[in-house]
């Protein structure tokens, strides 16, 4: 309780002020804001595990546990909530299509988390410039884009056909809510549209009769109110707590998602630093390592990979409260909710048509976030060094092109597309110095994503400055 100093009188925030990470309002107000964070993260945190065929109750439970771990590693100085990451959804869909088990899914994500943990440790030691040197915005944006657009067949072939009219209705409502609702309501549009689709499916069940139920609550009535998530029983179709298993082919599908997590974490830390007017560049490595450690912890028990949530940054921007005390409240609340099997059963019963309407928007938004990275960093596609590797990698990923290496090992889709983008870009830099120099001139302000490292000399012509948020 004594970790945070009280901001002002604990009740009011003066114009132009914000509640800093190590400050708090009165505890009743802090608890109320913490509850808003729970609502904000809730929809995405349980929707993505359902899409990946994992247990949503377990994901909610570990989102709280991993958030507490994150706050401990960053010493309470970076207010962030760790919810289920969407970066691996496409790779998991590919794993499932190849007959991969839930244990192999979580094993692959565990390796990705360990990779992010190592990256975080390196960044903490040598500074953030090492990330931008290897993964400039043109590469990061391309990987984020191919992660999203690779998912298009999942919508078209898995979710949408289950109930096309419900999917269409949910899609329209989600678009309308996202654009039309203001403030906090707009930020939880995914959750609200899911509730709408759930209710719509239930009403249609009443009209059409029990022969073709969209909402099946047979498992809800028998689930206890209090208890841990179930143990996984693949034969019985039950997914819950389980130990991870490892397959090299599946690991290679998932690891490219780490690039998206690096960009996401870096952008969030930078944004928080600029809004709160505090120096956060030195915390970048800690944040990356903490997110990686959270993913390792969650997937070790069969949970989902984690990442910092932009939804919760939106809550902070609206309330002007960046106190990590509110995140402790949110994390503890999530842990309590994660100990209710009945809540988990209700979530797991979400109709496929509802997910179809949500995923058609979400997957497209993920892809377009890659374009947002390009735009914010002024990537010049008039330069062949930027254009050609990205063009090849994105098409390979979207078309799910496969490279058969041996009878038992192949690269395809996300993994192959990422390799083409990363290796193709750096190969082009090596063989065409004039294009490399042009790219470096065009991307001087690209220190925007991770910020300048005072221990590393700036490139010729570069200006030390604050950059803009991710």
Q: Kindly report, residue by residue over 207-265, the tens digit of the pLDDT.
A: 876 666 777 777 677 777 888 887 777 776 777 888 999 888 888 888 877 877 787 77
pLDDT of residue 409: 57
The residues, any chain, with a CB within 8 Å of residue 160's CB and separated by 6 or more, are 167, 353, 356, 360
pLDDT of residue 45: 77
Look at the pTM and tell me if it is higher than 0.75. no
- The sign of the dihedral angle between the CA atoms of 142, 144, 146, 149 is negative
Given a cut of 50, is residue 269 above it in pLDDT? yes
Cβ atoms within 10 Å, residue 165: 11
pLDDT higher at 313 or 19:
19
Give the DSSP letter string of 82-121: EEE-STTHHHHHHHHHTT--HHHHHHHHHHHHHHHHHHHH
Q: Per-residue pLDDT tens for 340-381? A: 877 767 776 778 788 788 778 877 877 787 788 788 778 888
pLDDT of residue 188: 65
Least confidently predicted of 69-73, 335-339, 430-434: 430-434
pLDDT of residue 128: 67
Q: CA 63, CA 72: separation in Å to the nearest integer?
A: 14
Given a cut of 70, is residue 271 above it in pLDDT? no
pLDDT band at 114 (very low <50, low <70, confident <90, very high): very high
Given a cut of 50, is residue 286 above it in pLDDT? yes
Q: Per-residue pLDDT tens for 127-179? A: 767 777 777 888 878 877 876 787 777 677 777 888 888 889 988 988 888 88
pLDDT higher at 302 or 48:
302
Number of H helices, E strands in the chain: 21, 6
Give the DSSP letter string of 147-198: HHHTTHHHIIIIIGGG-HHHHHHHHHHHHHHHHH--HHHHHTHHHHHHHHHH
- Asked if residue 245 lies in contact with residue 107, where contact means CB atoms within 8 angstroms, the answer is yes
pLDDT higher at 466 or 453:
453
Given a cut of 70, is residue 197 above it in pLDDT? yes
- Rg of the chain over CA atoms, in angstroms? 22
Given a cut of 80, is residue 303 above it in pLDDT? yes
Please give the share of the chain, as a percent, with pLDDT higher than 90.
9
pLDDT of residue 400: 72
Query: Which of 20, 26, 457, 446 has its CA nearest to residue 267?
Result: 446
pLDDT of residue 220: 73
pLDDT band at 457 (very low <50, low <70, confident <90, very high): very low
Mean pLDDT of 385-413: 76
Instruction: Report how far Cα 273 is from the mean position of its chain's Cα atoms.
Output: 20
Mean pLDDT of 278-298: 86
pLDDT band at 267 (very low <50, low <70, confident <90, very high): low
Least confidently predicted of 138-142, 267-271, 310-314, 445-449: 445-449
For the chain, the farthest-separated pair of C-alpha atoms sits apart, in whole angstroms, at: 72
Please give the share of the chain, as a percent, with pLDDT higher than 70.
79
Q: CA 12, CA 14: separation in Å to the nearest integer?
A: 6
Residue with tokens 């994660």: 338
pLDDT of residue 355: 78
Given a cut of 80, is residue 62 above it in pLDDT? yes
pLDDT of residue 445: 47
Query: Which of 285, 261, 284 has its CA nearest to residue 272?
Result: 284
Q: CA 315, CA 367: separation in Å to the nearest integer?
A: 24
pLDDT band at 183 (very low <50, low <70, confident <90, very high): low
Pairing of strands 5-6, 23-24: parallel
pLDDT higher at 181 or 470:
181
pLDDT of residue 469: 32
Query: Which of 333, 399, 368, 302 has its CA nearest to residue 101?
Result: 302
Instruction: Find the angle CA(43)-CA(48)-CA(49) to the nearest 5 degrees.
Output: 110
pLDDT higher at 356 or 299:
299
Query: Which of 376, 398, 374 has its CA nearest to residue 386?
Result: 374
pLDDT of residue 293: 94
Query: Which of 352, 34, 40 has its CA nearest to residue 192?
Result: 40
pLDDT of residue 228: 80
pLDDT of residue 317: 63
pLDDT of residue 8: 74
- Asked if residue 411 lies in contact with residue 359, where contact means CB atoms within 8 angstroms, the answer is no
Mean pLDDT of 385-409: 78
pLDDT of residue 110: 94
Q: How far apart are the first and last CA of the chain?
A: 32
Least confidently predicted of 44-53, 249-258, 297-306, 450-459: 450-459
pLDDT of residue 448: 45
Given a cut of 70, is residue 435 above it in pLDDT? no
- Asked if residue 42 lies in contact with residue 57, where contact means CB atoms within 8 angstroms, the answer is no
Backbone torsions φ then ψ of 460, nearest 5 degrees: -55, 130
pLDDT band at 449 (very low <50, low <70, confident <90, very high): very low
Mean pLDDT of 82-89: 81
Q: CA 159, CA 387: separation in Å to the nearest integer?
A: 33
Least confidently predicted of 96-110, 192-206, 407-421: 407-421
Given a cut of 90, is residue 295 above it in pLDDT? yes
- Asked if residue 128 lies in contact with residue 291, where contact means CB atoms within 8 angstroms, the answer is no
């Amino acid at each position: 309780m004594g970790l945070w100093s009280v901001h002002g009188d604990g009740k009011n925030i003066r114009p132009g002020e914000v509640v800093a990470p190590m400050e708090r309002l009165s505890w009743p107000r802090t608890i109320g804001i913490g509850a808003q964070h729970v609502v904000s993260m809730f929809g995405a945190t349980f929707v993505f595990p359902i899409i990946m065929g994992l247990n949503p109750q377990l994901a909610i439970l570990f989102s709280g546990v991993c958030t507490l771990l994150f706050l401990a590693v960053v010493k309470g100085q970076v207010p962030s909530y760790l919810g289920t990451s969407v970066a691996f959804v496409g790779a998991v869909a590919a794993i499932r299509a190849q007959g991969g088990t839930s244990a192999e899914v979580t094993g692959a994500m565990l390796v990705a988390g360990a990779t992010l943990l190592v990256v975080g440790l390196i960044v903490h030691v040598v500074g953030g410039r090492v990330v931008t040197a290897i993964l400039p915005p043109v590469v990061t944006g391309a990987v984020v884009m191919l992660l999203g657009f690779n998912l298009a067949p999942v919508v078209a072939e898995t979710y949408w056909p289950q109930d096309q009219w419900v999917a269409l209705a949910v899609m329209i409502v989600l678009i309308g809510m996202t654009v039309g609702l203001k403030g906090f309501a707009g930020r939880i549009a995914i959750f609200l549209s899911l509730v709408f689709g759930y209710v719509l499916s239930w009403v249609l069940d009443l009209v059409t009769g029990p022969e073709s139920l969209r909402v099946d609550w047979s498992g809800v009535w028998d689930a206890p109110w209090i208890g841990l998530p179930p143990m996984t029983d693949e034969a019985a179709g039950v997914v819950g707590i389980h130990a991870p298993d490892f397959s090299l082919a599946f690991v290679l599908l998932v690891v490219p998602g780490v690039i998206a997590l690096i960009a996401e974490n870096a952008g969030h830390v930078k944004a928080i630093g600029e809004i709160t007017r505090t120096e956060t560049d030195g915390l970048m490595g800690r944040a990356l390592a903490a997110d990686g450690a959270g993913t390792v912890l969650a997937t070790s028990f069969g949970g989902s990979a984690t990442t910092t949530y932009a939804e919760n940054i939106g809550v902070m921007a609206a309330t002007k409260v960046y106190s990590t005390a509110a995140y402790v409240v949110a994390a503890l609340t999530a842990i309590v909710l994660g100990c209710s099997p009945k809540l988990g059963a209700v979530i797991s019963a979400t109709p496929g048509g509802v997910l179809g309407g949500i995923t058609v928007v979400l997957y497209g938004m993920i892809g377009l976030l890659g374009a947002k990275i390009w735009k914010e960093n002024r990537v010049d596609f008039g330069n062949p060094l930027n254009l050609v590797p990205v063009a090849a990698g994105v098409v390979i990923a979207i078309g799910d092109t496969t490279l058969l290496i041996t009878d038992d090992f192949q690269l395809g889709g996300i993994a192959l597309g990422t390799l083409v983008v990363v290796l193709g870009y750096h190969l082009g830099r090596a063989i065409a110095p004039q294009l490399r120099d042009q790219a470096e001139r065009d991307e001087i302000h690209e220190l925007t994503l991770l910020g300048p490292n005072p221990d590393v000399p700036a490139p010729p012509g570069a200006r030390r400055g604050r950059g803009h948020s991710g």
